[in-house]
Amino acid sequence: MRRVGQVVRISQGLAILRADDDTTGGSADDIDHAIGTTVLDDNLEEIGRVVDVFGPVDKPYLAVTTDDDVHNPSLVSTTLYAR
């Protein structure tokens, strides 16, 4: 399991994460592979999937569409992970 990033805000029903330095590795190919990644919380429960990557290449933001049973506001400031 690896850290994807920390949720910085909720916008238009999406959880917006600031990616960790090791999430993308700094290359465009790594960023492209982030889309579609399933993200989990620290209890290994599925939260949702990455639907967009935007911002600077070296430390981008990720937009995550969350599952219906996830209370988005409670995610702010939490760290999410990928397998």
The answer to whether 17 and 1 have CB atoms below 8 angstroms apart is no
Mean pLDDT, the chain, whole residue set = 88
Band of residue 83 on the pLDDT scale cut at 50, 70, 90: confident
What are the tens digits of pLDDT across the range 9-46?
999 999 999 998 765 555 555 555 689 999 999 999 99
Using DSSP, state whether 41 is helix, strand or coil.
coil
Band of residue 1 on the pLDDT scale cut at 50, 70, 90: confident
Domain locations along the chain: 2-82
Rounded CA separation 1/46 (Å) = 13
Tokens matching residue 36: 């579609």
Check whether 65 has a pLDDT greater than 80. yes
| 2-82 homologous superfamily | Probable tRNA pseudouridine synthase domain (2.40.10.230)
